[in-house]
Amino acid sequence: MILNAFVLGTSGSMPLPRRNLSSILLRRGADEILFDCGEGLQIGLRLASVSWKKIKVVCISHSHADHVTGLPGLVMLSSQVNRDEPLIIICPAVVRDFLESTRATLGMYVNFKIEYVILDELEKKPVIYHNKEKEYVIKAFQGVHSRKVWGFSFEEYDRPGKFDIEKATALKIPKGPYWAQLQQGNTITVEGKVYRPEEVLGPSRRGRKIVYITDTRPAQVFLEKMHDADMVFIEGMFKKEHAETAKEKFHLTGVEAAEMLLKSGGVDRAGLIHFSPRYTQAEIEMIEKEAQQVFPKLTCCRDRQSFKIDNKN
Ligand SMILES: [Zn+2]
Ligand SMILES: [Zn+2]
C-alpha cells in the first residue's frame, strides 16, 4: 500500500505569501488523513495538487487559531461533492463548538455527517481511531503548551510474514483456501491435522509509523511515541538563539526537537515544521543546520514537499 505525506504548510502563527500554516496530509491508498487545518488550508491543498475529496479524518492538535480556522472552509468545500462516508474530526471540545457554532451562525449547508472524537474526553485511551479494515490506528498523546495540545501517531498494524510455498508443500497442506487462511494468520485443521500459521509464514512484517507533534515544550512522552517511527513531523519553531522565547511561548527550537528525536531512538527520518513567521528562508536553513548537528536525519520541511514512506520489509 502506497503511503505518502504531503506538506501543505510550514508556518506558525500566521500564513505568509510563500508559507502556509503548518499542516500535513497523509495518503494511504484511498484514505486521506489531515493534521491541523489553519487559515488558507485550501490554498495549501491546491498548491500540493492534493485532492481534498477523500479526506476521511481530520486531527486538530489544539484550539489556537493557526490550527483550526481552515475548518469551516474545508467542510464547505467537502459539501460540493457527494460523500457517503462521514468526516471524522478528532479535536478538543472547543474546536467542535467553534465549527458547530460557525455552521449554525452562517447557516452552512453540509451534505454529510460529521463525527467528532473529542480529545478532552478520552482520558488515557490510547487508540482514538482505526479504519474499518483495521489496517491502521491513530493515537493521541498530550504535549505541553499554553493550552491543551495533543500530538498524534499514525500506526499500521504489523502484517503477517511472507508465505513459504516450499514449507507448505513439504507439509502437504492442500493448495487454495487453506493457504489463504494460513496467510491471514489463522490456524487450520485438515483431515484432523492442525497447522499453525507460524509453520508456513516468515517473520511478521512491521507496519509503518508516522508521528505529528507541534506547539509544545519538550516532554518525556514524545520519546516513547517517536521511538522507531518511519517519519516524524515536529515543530522546530525557533533558532537556538531564541531558546528563551521558545520557552516563554511554549514552543520548541529546532535543536530541542532534534535532541528528542535522538533520544527516542530508531527514528528513520524527520521534518521540522511550524517556523516563526519572523524568519526568512535563510534563517530557517540555519535552524536546519543547528538541528542536523544533533540529529542528521532531519530536514526543515518546505511547503509543497512530499515524502514517500516505504515498507522496510
Ligand atoms: Zn501554532
Ligand atoms: Zn499553539
pLDDT of amino acid 312: 79
- CA 293 distance to own-chain centroid: 25
Structure confidence at residue 23 (pLDDT): 98
* Cα 95 to averaged position of ligand 1 atoms, centre (Å): 14
Q: Do 42 and 34 contact (CB within 8 A), yes or no? A: no
DSSP state letter for 309: -
* Catalytic hit among 66, 215, 230, 303: 66
pLDDT at 82 (0 to 100): 84
Average pLDDT over residues 284-301: 98
Q: What's the rounded Cα separation, in Å, for the pair 297 and 229? A: 12
- Residue 62's alpha-carbon distances to 4, 6, 36, 102, 191, in angstroms, are 24, 20, 8, 18, 58
Say if CB 214 and CB 61 are below 8 A apart. yes
pLDDT-derived band at 185 (thresholds 50, 70, 90) equals: confident
- Going by C-alpha positions, the residue among 203, 173, 204 that lies closest to residue 187 is 173
* pLDDT of the residue at 207: 95
* CA of 274, nearest ligand number: 1
**Sequence-distant (≥ 6) Cβ neighbours of residue 58 within 8 angstroms:** 33, 34, 37, 71, 74, 87, 88, 89, 90, 91
Residue 91 and residue 60: Cα distance in Å, rounded?
5
The residue with greater pLDDT, 132 or 34, is 34
pLDDT, position 81: 82
Alpha carbon distance 268, 228 (integer Å): 7
State residue 51's pLDDT score: 80
Q: State how far the Cα of 235 lies from the Cα of 140, in Å rounded to an integer.
A: 16
Ligand 2 midpoint to CA 196 (Å)? 51
| Interval between CA 61 and ligand 1 midpoint (Å) | 9
Evaluate if residue 68 carries a pLDDT over 90: yes
Pick the CATH number of 3-159+205-308 from 3.40.50.2000, 3.60.15.10, 3.40.50.620, 3.40.10.10: 3.60.15.10
How many A from CA of 140 to the centre of ligand 2? 16
What letter would DSSP give residue 253? B
State the average pLDDT over residues 188-217: 93
**What is the Å distance from ligand 1's center to 216 Cα?**
9
Confidence of residue 54 (pLDDT cuts 50, 70, 90): confident
Q: What is the pLDDT of residue 161?
A: 87
CA gap 52, 78 in Å, rounded: 7
In degrees rounded to 5, what are phi and psi of residue 59? -110, 125
Confidence grade of residue 77 (pLDDT, cut at 50, 70, 90): confident
Q: Are 235 and 215 in contact (CB under 8 A)?
A: yes
In angstroms, the CA 119 to CA 148 distance is 10
- Asked if pLDDT for residue 91 goes beyond 80, the answer is yes
Query: Residue 79: its pLDDT value, please?
Result: 84
Maximum Cα interatomic distance, the chain, rounded to a whole number of Å: 73
Coil, strand, or helix at residue 89? strand
141 CA from centroid of ligand 1 (Å): 17
CA of 170 to the centre of ligand 1 (A): 59
Phi (first) and psi of residue 193, to 5 degrees: -100, 135
Find the mean pLDDT for residues 254-272: 98
C-alpha grid cell for residue 280?
526568512
Whose CA is closest to 294, among 245, 265, 266, 260? 260
Q: Tens digit of pLDDT for each residue in 95-151?
A: 999 999 999 999 998 989 999 999 998 877 777 899 888 899 999 999 999 999 999
Hey, how many other C-beta atoms are within 10 angstroms of the C-beta on 62?
Answer: 24
Mean pLDDT of 199-204: 89
At 166 the pLDDT is 92
Q: What is the pLDDT of residue 142?
A: 94
Summarize pLDDT for 2-23 with one digit per residue, the tens. 999 999 999 999 999 999 999 9
Q: Where are the domains of the chain?
A: 3-159+205-308, 165-199
Q: Are 303 and 281 in contact (CB under 8 A)?
A: no
139, 128 contact by CB (below 8 A): yes
- Whole-number mean pLDDT of the chain? 94
Q: Is the pLDDT score of 205 beyond 90?
A: no
pLDDT at 52: 80
Residue 164: active-site member: no
Pairwise pLDDT comparison (80 vs 8), residue with the higher score: 8
Residues with CB under 5 A from ligand 1 (ion): 12, 66, 215
Q: Is residue 296 scored above 90 in pLDDT?
A: yes
